[in-house]
Amino acid sequence: MIEEKFASGRSFIHQLDPKIRIIASIILSFAAALCDNLYIAGFYFIISSILITMAKLKWMDVVNRLKPLFWFLLMIWIILPLTFDGETVYQYYGLRITVSGVILCCKITIKSITILLIFTALIATMTVASLGNGLHRLYVPDKMVFLLLMSYRYIAVIEEEYKRLLRAAKFRGFNPKTNLHSYKTFAYLAGMLFVRASLRAQRVHQAMLCRGFNQKFHTLDVYQPNRLNSIFLMGIFAASLSLVIFEIMWI
Amino acid sequence: MTDNSSVIRLEDISYSYPGSNTNVLDHLNLEINKGDRIGMMAPNGSGKTTLLHTIMGLCKPESGTIEVFGKLLKNEKDFIPVRSKIGLLFQDSDDQLFCPTVLDDVAFGPLNLGFSPQDAIDTARNTLERLGIQILEGHVTHRLSGGQKRLVALAAVLAMEPEVLLLDEPTAGLDHKVKEKLIHILNSLDISYFVISHEFDFAKAVTDKIYSMEDGKILRDDEIHIHRHEHVHKHGRHPHNHK
Ligand SMILES: Nc1ncnc2c1ncn2[C@@H]1O[C@H](COP(=O)(O)OP(=O)(O)OP(=O)(O)O)[C@@H](O)[C@H]1O
Ligand SMILES: [Mg+2]
C-alpha cells in the first residue's frame, strides 16, 4: 500500500489549495531545472528547504523518501567526474578527475534534490484524491486524472493480491529454491496475479458505479478560498522570476 | 406498508458469462414490490450474485427486460440514476472498500450524490453510529478485519439512503452479536430489501418470504417448501414452518 504519510499534517502548506500548490511546484521546479549556475541552484535549494520546514515535515522522513535518488546520484558521482573533459584536479595513472565534471555533478545533485524537495513539500502533502481534484480543476482531461487515481488504487490492490497469493503458497509449505518447481510456482503466482488483479479492478469499478461514481472527483478535504493562496503563489512566482532574471542579467 | 407498486421487475432475463454457453440466468422472472422483504437461499453457484449484478446493470442480459421504479432500463445511461437508489452490498467487501479511510469510503456515495463535504461527513458519521462502528471512522480500510469490512461496506451502502437494498450474504463472517444487531437494523428499516443468505435463522428473522433458485430460474415460496422443510430438520432445533 502506498502510504500518504505526509498528507495528514495541519501546516500552512497543507491548507493551501491543491491547485495553487500544483502551479507553484511546476513554476519552481521548472525554474530550478533550467538554472545553470551552482550558486543560483543553491538558492533554489534553500527555497525548497524552507518549504519543507513550512510543511512541518520531519527531515528524517524526507531523507528516507529521497533514498532511491541517492543511489542514482552515487552512480553519477562515480561516472561523470572520470569521463568528463576539462581541467584535471586529480590524476591517478590513467584516471583523471576533472573540475567541470565535479561541478556538473554538484549541479545535478543540488538540482535533483531541490526538485524532489519541492514536490515533497507541495505535492506529497496532499492526498492523491486531492491531487486528482486539483488537476481536474486545472483542466487536465478527466481521463488522465482518472488514470492517475486508478493506477494509484490498483497498484495497492495488486501488491495486496501478491502478498495474499504468496502467503497462501507459503502456508502450504512452499519454500522458494532454485529448482523447476519453484520457478513454476512463481510463474503460476505471476499469472494468477494478473488474472486476479484485473478481475478485482473490474469489480472495484462496478462497486464504484453502484455508488454513483460519474467520472467526477470529490474529496472530503475542504480548502477555504483564502488570500494566503494567492499571496503564496505570488511569492513563489516572484522568487523564481527574480532568480531567473538575476541569472540572465548578471551571470 | 405494502402498496404493491413494483420496485424491481425482471422479465424473461437470460444471461451467460462471456465465453461460456450455459445460461446462469435462464428466462428468469422476478418482481420486488414496495415493502417486500425477500430472502434468497440457493446452492453455491446457482447464480444469485449474477442476478443482483444484472439488476444493477453490471451484467448485461442477452434477453429480457429490467424495470426499476416503473422505468424500463435499456442501456448504461438508464442505469446511472437508478444505481444510487438501489443499495447493493457486494459479496466480497474488499471490492467495495477502495478509499483510504473508513470515513472517506462511507462518504464516497453521498459526495457522488452531490452532498457538500461537510454534509457528506455528517451523513457518514451518522450511518457509522447507527451501525455502532463509529470508532472505526479513522481506520485504514484494508487493515480492518473481515467482519469489520462487512459492516463498513454496509454503512457505505446505507449512507446513500437507498430505496431498495440488495444484500449479498450480509452475515458471512459476522459473529453472533453483530448478526443480532444486523437483524435489528434490517427490521427497523422501512425499505424493501432482497437478502441472499445461507443461514436459515437469519433469513427467517429478517424476511417475510424466502425464494430459491434452480436452473437459472427463481423458485417462489410455495415451490421450495419441501426443500426448506428438509433444511429445518437437518439442523434440528428450529421451529418449522408449514404454510
Ligand atoms: N466472472 C465470471 N466468469 C464466468 N463465469 C462466472 C463468473 N462469475 C460467476 N460465474 C459462473 O456463474 C455461475 C453463478 O455464479 P454466481 O456467482 O452468481 O453464484 P452464486 O449463486 O452467487 O454463488 P455463491 O453462493 O457461491 O455466492 C457459477 O456457475 C459460476 O461458475
Ligand atoms: Mg454469490
Q: For every residue of chain A, which 3-state class applies, written as one string? A: CCCCHHHHCCCCHHHCCHHHHHHHHHHHHHHHHHCCCHHHHHHHHHHHHHHHHHCCCCHHHHHHHHHHHHHHHHHHHHHHHHHCCCCEEEEECCEEEEHHHHHHHHHHHHHHHHHHHHHHHHCCCCCHHHHHHHHHHCCCCHHHHHHHHHHHHHHHHHHHHHHHHHHHHHHCCCCCCCCHHHHHHHHHHHHHHHHHHHHHHHHHHHHHHHCCCCCCCCCCCCCCCCHHHHHHHHHHHHHHHHHHHHHHHHC
**Burial class of B102 by CB neighbour count within 10 A (0 to 12, 13 to 18, 19+):** buried
- CA pair distance B241, B86, nearest whole angstrom: 31
| Chain A CA closest to residue B162 | A211
A22 vs B138, higher pLDDT: A22
- Domain match, A246 and A204 both: no
Q: In degrees rounded to 5, what are phi and psi of residue A128?
A: -60, -35
Q: Is B222 within 8 Å of chain A by CB? A: no
User: Which one, of B51, B25, B157, lies nearest residue B97 by Cα?
Assistant: B157
- CA pair distance A246, B72, nearest whole angstrom: 68
Mean model confidence pLDDT for chain A: 85
- Whether residues B118 and A206 touch (CB distance < 8 A) is answered with no
Confirm whether A3 is domain-assigned.
Answer: no
Nearest to A214 among B112, B142, B160 (CB): B112
- Domain match, A203 and A88 both: no
Q: What percentage of chain A reaches a pLDDT higher than 90?
A: 25
Q: Is B55 within 8 Å of chain A by CB? A: no
Q: Which residues of chain B have pLDDT under 70?
A: 1-4, 222-243
- Domain match, A158 and A231 both: no
R_g of chain A, CA atoms, integer Å:
23
Q: In sequence order, what are the beta bridge partners of B140?
A: B101
pLDDT tier, A150 (very low <50, low <70, confident <90, very high otherwise): confident
The pLDDT, as a whole number, for residue B232 is: 46
Residue A1 has pLDDT above 50, yes or no: no
User: Would you say how long chain A is, in residues?
Assistant: 251
> What is residue B52's three-state secondary structure?
helix
Confirm whether A132 is domain-assigned.
Answer: no
Q: Which helix (H) or strand (E) holds B76?
A: helix B76-83
Q: Which of A44-48, A84-88, B138-142 is predicted least confidently?
A: A84-88
Go through the domains of chain B in sequence order and give each one's CATH number: 1-85+194-225 (3.40.50.300)
Residue to substitute from B90, B112, B166, B167, interface A, most A β-carbons within 10 A? B112
Residues in CB range of B2: below 8 A, 6 or more apart: B33, B34, B35, B36
Confirm whether A244 is domain-assigned.
Answer: yes
Confirm whether A17 is domain-assigned.
Answer: yes
| pLDDT tens figures, A158-206 | 887 888 888 878 777 787 888 888 888 888 888 888 888 888 888 888 8
ipTM: 0.75
Chain centre to alpha carbon of residue B131: 17
Confirm whether A81 is domain-assigned.
Answer: yes
DSSP secondary-structure letter at B24? S
Q: What percentage of chain A reaches a pLDDT higher than 70?
A: 98
Confirm whether A206 is domain-assigned.
Answer: yes
Cell of A212: 454513483
- Whether residues B95 and A200 touch (CB distance < 8 A) is answered with yes
Nearest to A203 among B95, B112, B157 (CB): B95
State how beta strands B164-168 and B63-68 pair.
unpaired
B68 min Cα distance to partner chain A (Å):
15
Cell of A182: 519453484
- Domain match, A80 and A106 both: yes
- CA pair distance B6, B67, nearest whole angstrom: 9
- Domain match, A122 and A147 both: no
State how beta strands B6-15 and B63-68 pair.
antiparallel
- Domain match, A176 and A202 both: yes
Which is it for the CA torsion B42, B43, B47, B48, positive or negative? positive
Q: Which helix (H) or strand (E) holds B10?
A: strand B6-15
Greatest alpha-carbon pair distance for chain B in Å reads 53
The pLDDT, as a whole number, for residue B225 is: 52
Determine the straight-line distance between the first and last CA of chain A, rounded to whole angstroms: 47
Q: Which residue, by CA, sits nearest to atom 3 of ligand 1? A: B17
Confirm whether A155 is domain-assigned.
Answer: yes
HSE-CB at B173 with a 13 A cutoff on CA atoms is: 14
- Domain match, A74 and A189 both: no
How many domains does the structure of chain A reveal?
2
- Domain match, A85 and A171 both: no
- Domain match, A97 and A189 both: no
Residue A38 has pLDDT above 70, yes or no: yes
- Domain match, A206 and A243 both: no
Q: Which domain holds residue A191?
A: 140-210
- CA pair distance B81, A40, nearest whole angstrom: 56
Nearest to A127 among B53, B100, B120 (CB): B100
B48 CA from centroid of ligand 2 (Å): 5
Place of cell 454503512: B155
- Domain match, A110 and A185 both: no
Cell of B133: 462502528
User: Which one, of B96, B95, B98, B123, lies nearest residue A128 by Cα?
Assistant: B98
The pLDDT, as a whole number, for residue B3 is: 53
B35 CA from centroid of ligand 2 (Å): 24
DSSP secondary-structure letter at B239? P
The pLDDT, as a whole number, for residue B226 is: 44
A78 min Cα distance to partner chain B (Å):
41
- Domain match, A83 and A121 both: yes
- CA pair distance A217, A156, nearest whole angstrom: 19
